Every structure is written in C-alpha cells, then in structure tokens.
C-alpha cells in the first residue's frame, strides 16, 4: 500500500476513534439467546433481533441439521445452473402461503433482495419514491437503478403525495418503505400509503424485516397489521431476525414481478443458492409461525411490560407498538457511556449515535424478545434506573 493511502486510512480510523464513533465488536462466547456470554461474562441480551427467541430453538436447529443431512452442505451453484433443489421450491411456496402472495424468490440476505428489487423494474423514465429513513439496503438498491429518485420526509403523507404529484410524468412509479423503522421502532402508515398508491397508480414495496413473524394478528407483519394485504405489490423480508436469525431473505409478491426477478435480478443470477440448512431451519420456523405461534404474544407482552415500567420510572421513550423500544438520551457520549455502564451491570444494550440517528437524538435501543422472563425485564429496568441516577439523567 502506498504511503498516502496508508496515512489517509489511519487518519480516518483515528478520527472515528477520537469522536467515539469507532464500532467495537464484542465477541460472544456462547450461542445467541436471552442470556449470552460476552467475553466469558454472562449478560442478559436486549440488543438482538431475536424477537421470537427462535435463534436457539431446538426444533429449528434439528430441522437445519436434518436438512443438511438430506440435502447436503451447499450447492456450489447459482439457482439457474444447478442450485435449485426441491427444498428451495418448497420454501418459496411456504413463504408465499404465509405472506399470502403469488410467489417468492429467495436471496442470501434481505440486503441482496433489496439490492435486486429496483434495477430490473425501474429504468430511465420511471420513478422511485422512498421514505427518508429507509434501510441502507433500500437506499443502495435504488442507487443501482436509473429511475428518477424522490425522497419523502419520514412517514409524511403530504410529502409523499407531493412526490407523487411531481412524478406524474413518469412511466412506472414505485413507493418504497420499511414496514418497521429500525431506529424508532415505528410502523409505516401503510393504509395511507396504499390509498395514495391507488390514487396515483403507483406500485408499493414494503421491507418487513423487523416485522415478519411477530407483528400483526397472526404474525404476518405490518402488511397484516395495517390491513393492506393484497394491496402491496412486493414484500421483502429477512430470515435473519424474528424468523430464526441465521440469514437469508426474499422478495415475495405479484407473480409477474417475481417472474421478472428470476430472469433479471443480479444477486439472484450471480450469487450462490441459499444453503440447505437455512432452508430447512426456515421451513421449521414457518411451521411454528403457522401453527399457534405461542411466541408472538410473549414478545408483545414483554415489550409492553418494559415500556410501561420504563415510563413509570421517568424515562423518555419513543412511542410505539413494536418490540423496539428506543430510550432517548440525546447526548451522544452519554448514550455510549450509559450502554457501557449497563453492560457492566449485566444488561447488554447498544447506544446509537449520529450518523445512524440524527445529531442530538442519541438513544439506547432496547429490543424485547419472547424469551425474556418477567424477572429479566425487571432486572433491566432496575439497571437502567440505577445507571441513569448515577449519571444524573433521572
Ligand atoms: C436487517 C434489515 C435488512 C437486512 O437483512 P439481512 O437479511 O440481514 O441482509 C434489510 N432491511 C431492513 C429493513 C432490515 O431491518
């Protein structure tokens, strides 16, 4: 590496460090669960996307092992060469049934699904209209297409309408939104979005990564929660959060669109098939979701319980109805210091600062899971209270 590049990179890292923004990866010495070991120390985990607690579910693990025994470790191929097993078709069918869509196409991740979604469908003369707080993978997916870009203020329906009016000249228009926004834990206004889409003859895509499996009356996500089933053209989601937490994702929706993606989606055509173990594990997750899904209600009960205890203790929370509970600290350094102090007390949470959230809006994001016990939640709240008092924040 030449000296100039070396110095530039060192300067970047030093600056991040100095601003307290250098991301540290804490090494777990256990599997993912309600209680985990961080560098040998047992702590309660309140920062995983393990909403249903399925990451270490015995049945899911067994199903993944069985799939590996039956279907092998890997395919050494993309889907259209020799990478499509009956197992993959079965999983696609099951997801379509669960999400009540025509068809589904698998990807290695939801990041890839979003990377695949825009470019085949939208080109010059088309428009994509995106919520300003959409996930990075939607933003990157949009960058890969040549459509005109419109960005509306977060969940601002007047601004969305304005964008739809401004894009009247375009051939195809697609509104893109997260179902649940990861930093505030709020739900997209899908009923209003779908009504506007209908009025303006636009398509709608919803990324339900933070919702599939636990939100909505039967866990089918925000599309079900908001009562807009059949009105959303494309749903993307991940198997890496509530649905087992390993990896993998999909686009599910209208038949013609999924057919298009099988022909044209680049991460599908040029990246390896989803591993059999993940397909097998995800099929078991779908069994659980489609039977009585006992976990979903526990997730929501735990989230409500944590919210009400924290509010009673005087904390400032972002209001919401999901298992993401942001505890506002505002000051960046204090948010990081508070999360560190909580970890010291055996509560694993993360402080989020700019640029992940707006400047001056630093927070600790707490994520609840079906596997937390009532005692876990009380322990966490007590730790928050004593740390906040120490820091003179309460
Ligand atoms: C987590 C997340 C993704 C990425 O999912 P992976 O399967 O981990 O790539 C995409 N979109 C949203 C909204 C997410 O929250």
Can you list the domains of the chain with their CATH numbers? 19-53+295-390 (3.90.1150.10), 58-290 (3.40.640.10)
Structure tokens at 157: 């329906």
Annotation marks residue 108 as catalytic = no
Q: Whose CA is nearest to atom 5 of ligand 1?
A: 110
Which pLDDT value is given to residue 351? 94
Is the CB of 246 within 6 Å of ligand 1?
no
Mutate which of 137, 212, 242 to test ligand 1's pocket (most atoms within 8 Å of Cβ)? 137
Pick from 292, 291, 290, 294: nearest CA to 95 = 290
Q: Annotation-wise, does 154 bind a ligand?
A: no
Distance from Cα 110 to the centre of ligand 1, integer Å? 5
Q: Annotation-wise, does 141 bind a ligand?
A: no
Is the CB of 367 within 6 Å of ligand 1?
no
Q: Annotation-wise, does 96 bind a ligand?
A: no
Q: Annotation-wise, does 131 bind a ligand?
A: no
Is the CB of 135 within 6 Å of ligand 1?
yes
Is the CB of 188 within 6 Å of ligand 1?
no
Distance from Cα 209 to the centre of ligand 1, integer Å? 6
Which pLDDT value is given to residue 180? 98
Is the CB of 108 within 6 Å of ligand 1?
no
Q: Whose CA is nearest to atom 1 of ligand 1?
A: 209
- Residue 249 CA: which ligand 1 atom is closest? 7
Is the CB of 302 within 6 Å of ligand 1?
no
- Residue 241 CA: which ligand 1 atom is closest? 1
Distance from Cα 290 to the centre of ligand 1, integer Å? 22
Q: Which of 210, 284, 296, 372 is catalytic?
A: 210
Distance from Cα 267 to the centre of ligand 1, integer Å? 15
Q: Annotation-wise, does 306 bind a ligand?
A: no
Is the CB of 322 within 6 Å of ligand 1?
no
Q: Annotation-wise, does 57 bind a ligand?
A: no
Distance from Cα 178 to the centre of ligand 1, integer Å? 10
Annotation marks residue 58 as catalytic = no
Annotation marks residue 182 as catalytic = yes
Is the CB of 251 within 6 Å of ligand 1?
no
Distance from Cα 82 to the centre of ligand 1, integer Å? 27
pTM of the predicted model as reported, rounded to 2 decimal places? 0.96
Q: Which of 33, 109, 155, 182 is catalytic?
A: 182
Q: What is the 3-state secondary structure (H, E, C) of the chain?
A: CCHHHHHHHHHHHHHHHHCCCCCCCCCECCCCCCEEEECCEEEEECCCCCCCCCCCCHHHHHHHHHHHHHHCCCCCCCHHHHHCCHHHHHHHHHHHHHHCCCEEEEECCHHHHHHHHCCCCCCCCCEEEEECCCCHHHHHHHHCCCCEEEEECCCCHHHHHHHHHHCCCCCCEEEEEECECCCCCCECCHHHHHHHHHHHCCEEEEECCCCCCCCCCCCCCHHHHCCCCCCCCEEEEECCCCCCCCCCEEEEECHHHHHHHHHHCHHHHCCCCCCHHHHHHHHHHHHHHHCCCHHHHHHHHHHHHHHHHHHHCCCCECCCCCCEEEEEEECHHHHHHHHHHHHHCCEECEEECCCCCCCCCEEEEEECCCCCCHHHHHHHHHHHHHHHHHCCCC
Mean pLDDT by 10 residues, the chain (394 residues): 96 90 88 92 97 97 98 98 98 98 98 98 98 97 98 98 98 98 97 98 98 97 98 98 98 98 98 98 98 94 98 96 97 94 97 90 97 98 98 93
């Amino acid at each position: 590496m030449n000296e100039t590049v070396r110095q530039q990179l060192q300067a970047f890292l030093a600056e991040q460090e100095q601003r307290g923004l250098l991301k540290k990866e804490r090494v777990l010495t256990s599997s993912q669960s309600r209680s985990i070991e961080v560098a040998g120390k047992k702590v309660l985990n309140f920062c995983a996307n393990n909403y249903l607690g399925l990451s270490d579910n015995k049945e899911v693990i067994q199903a993944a092992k069985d799939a590996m025994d039956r279907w092998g470790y890997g395919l050494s191929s993309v889907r259209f060469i020799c990478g499509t097993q009956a197992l993959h078709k079965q999983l696609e069918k099951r997801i379509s049934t669960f999400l009540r869509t025509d068809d589904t196409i698998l990807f290695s991740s939801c990041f890839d699904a979003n990377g695949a979604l825009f470019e085949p469908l939208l080109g010059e003369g088309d428009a994509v209209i995106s919520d300003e707080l959409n996930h990075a993978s939607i933003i990157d997916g949009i960058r890969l297409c040549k459509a005109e870009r419109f960005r509306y203020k977060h969940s601002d329906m007047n601004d969305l309408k304005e964008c739809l009016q401004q894009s009247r000249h375009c051939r195809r228009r697609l509104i893109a939104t997260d179902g649940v926004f990861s930093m505030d834990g709020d739900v997209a206004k899908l009923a209003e979005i779908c009504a506007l889409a209908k009025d303006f003859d636009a398509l709608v895509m919803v990324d339900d990564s933070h919702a599939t499996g636990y939100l909505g009356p039967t866990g089918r996500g925000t599309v079900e929660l908001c009562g807009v089933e059949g009105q959303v053209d494309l749903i993307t989601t991940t198997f890496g959060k509530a649905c087992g937490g390993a990896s993998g994702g999909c686009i599910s929706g209208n038949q013609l669109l999924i057919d298009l993606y099988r022909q044209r989606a680049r991460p599908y055509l040029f990246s390896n098939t989803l591993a059999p173990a993940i397909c097998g594990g995800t099929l078991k997750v779908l069994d659980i979701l489609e039977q009585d899904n006992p976990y979903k209600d526990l997730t929501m009960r735990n989230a409500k319980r944590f919210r009400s205890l924290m509010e009673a203790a005087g904390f400032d929370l972002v209001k919401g109805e999901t298992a993401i509970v942001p505890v506002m600290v505002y000051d960046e350094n204090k948010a990081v210091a508070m999360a560190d102090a909580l970890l010291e007390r055996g509560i694993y949470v993360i402080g989020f600062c700019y640029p992940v959230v707006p400047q001056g809006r630093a927070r600790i994001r707490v994520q609840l899971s079906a596997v937390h016990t009532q005692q876990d939640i009380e322990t966490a709240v007590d730790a928050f209270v004593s740390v906040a008092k120490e820091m003179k924040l309460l």
